[in-house]
């Protein structure tokens, strides 16, 4: 019986030691830090991790802080612009903890506090900007919100890295005016595009006609040059042939002409005076032939 009691006591001690050991050893991940409180007190030097952290059970306790970047969504809310126009805006805030000690000691709920201060800051920023600037200067509004929120969250150990306005919904009458303006702008661009196309088409047609006229003129010029060269060649050949014609050839041509005249129905002939001079070589040739035949 005493052995059983001793064994049970030993098992109890072992279990208690295991429980105390598990409570004393904390594993802190790379993206975490452990803020250690000793009898309810802590300090900036009491931030431990990453890795294994040993704490004294009952005397100390640890609070883990996530250092990864996180985001919260600010739901759509109505804001009044500088020119008293109601406008609905929703946006996203990206933030992270850079000082774990302050995030645990200085604020109860960093996420909720950031969401509340974001709402009031947005209203203050939009209240200083006109409606046209709100619609056209979204990036500038993002930068202003980020700077103002970062100033507030700095005392809580956090940092706002990015602010992104997701949607801006202007009043209905402003939306209708914007739609009409967009429709008019699209119509204007379509007219400009059509006019530009017609102008380019007219330019292409004119250019084509110009090229056709140039080609036609070039063709006429080449044809005229070829005709002139042909006529010149013909004159040169006629001149070359004319230089070889003698009086006998001319007389034969006259005889042929007289033959044609004789076959016609004309009753009157006009013979030029120069005709007798062309016949002199022929008569001399005929006379010479007769004389040669009369000789023995």
Give tens-digit pLDDT for 159-206: 999 999 988 888 777 677 666 777 777 787 878 888 787 788 778 878
Say which residues have a Cβ less than 8 Å from residue 216's Cβ, sequence separation at least 6.
Answer: none
Structure tokens at 251: 């007389």
Report for 61-75, 125-139, 264-278: range of highest mean pLDDT: 61-75
Partner residues linked to 54 by β-bridges: 25
- pLDDT score at 275: 56
User: Is the confidence at residue 96, as pLDDT, over 90?
Assistant: yes
Which own/partner contact pairs does 128-131 have at CB distance under 8 Å and 24+ positions apart? 128/82, 129/81, 129/82, 130/81, 130/82, 130/83, 131/81, 131/82, 131/83, 131/85, 131/87, 131/170, 131/174
User: Is the confidence at residue 296, as pLDDT, over 50?
Assistant: no
- pTM for the model stands at 0.57
Summarize the confidence of residues 214-228 as an average pLDDT.
82
User: Is the confidence at residue 271, as pLDDT, over 70?
Assistant: no
- pLDDT score at 99: 94
What is the CATH class of 70-170?
Answer: alpha beta
d(CA 221, CA 268): 50
Say which residues have a Cβ less than 8 Å from residue 153's Cβ, sequence separation at least 6.
Answer: 95, 110, 114, 117, 159, 160
List where CATH 3.30.479.30 sits in the chain: 70-170
Cα–Cα distances in Å, from 234 out to 221, 223, 230?
Answer: 20, 16, 6
d(CA 287, CA 296): 16
- pLDDT score at 104: 93
- pLDDT score at 239: 66
- State the chain's mean pLDDT as an integer: 81
Helices (H), the chain: 2-24, 100-105, 110-127, 131-136, 138-153, 172-242, 247-263, 274-294
User: Is the confidence at residue 244, as pLDDT, over 70?
Assistant: no
- pLDDT score at 257: 64
Q: 83: pLDDT confidence band, cut at 50, 70 and 90?
A: confident
Q: What percent of the chain has pLDDT over 70?
A: 78
Summarize the confidence of residues 91-116 as an average pLDDT.
93
């Amino acid at each position: 019986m005493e052995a059983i009691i001793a064994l049970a006591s030993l098992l109890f001690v072992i279990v208690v030691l295991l429980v105390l050991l598990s409570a004393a050893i904390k594993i802190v991940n790379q993206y975490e830090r452990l803020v250690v409180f000793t009898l309810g007190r802590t300090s900036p030097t009491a931030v431990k991790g990453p890795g294994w952290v040993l704490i004294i059970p009952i005397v100390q306790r640890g609070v883990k802080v996530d250092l990864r970047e996180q985001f919260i969504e600010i739901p759509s809310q109505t804001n009044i612009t500088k020119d008293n126009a109601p406008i609905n805006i929703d946006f996203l805030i990206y933030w992270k903890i850079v000082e774990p000690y302050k995030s645990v000691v200085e604020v109860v709920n960093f996420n909720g506090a950031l969401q509340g201060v974001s709402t009031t800051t947005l209203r203050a920023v939009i209240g200083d900007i006109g409606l046209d600037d709100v619609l056209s200067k979204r990036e500038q509004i993002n930068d202003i919100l980020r700077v103002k929120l970062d100033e507030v969250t700095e005392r809580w150990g956090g940092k706002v890295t990015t602010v992104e306005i997701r949607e801006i919904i202007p009043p209905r009458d402003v939306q209708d005016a914007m739609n009409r303006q967009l429709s008019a702008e699209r119509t204007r661009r379509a007219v400009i595009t059509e006019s530009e196309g017609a102008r380019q088409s007219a330019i292409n047609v004119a250019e084509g006609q110009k090229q056709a006229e140039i080609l036609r003129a070039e063709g006429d010029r080449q044809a005229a040059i070829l005709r002139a060269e042909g006529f010149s060649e013909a004159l040169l050949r006629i001149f070359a042939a004319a230089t070889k014609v003698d009086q006998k050839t001319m007389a034969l041509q006259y005889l042929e002409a007289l033959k044609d005249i004789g076959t016609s129905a004309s009753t009157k002939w006009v013979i030029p005076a120069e005709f007798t001079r062309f016949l002199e070589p022929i008569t001399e040739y005929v006379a010479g032939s007769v004389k040669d035949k009369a000789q023995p």
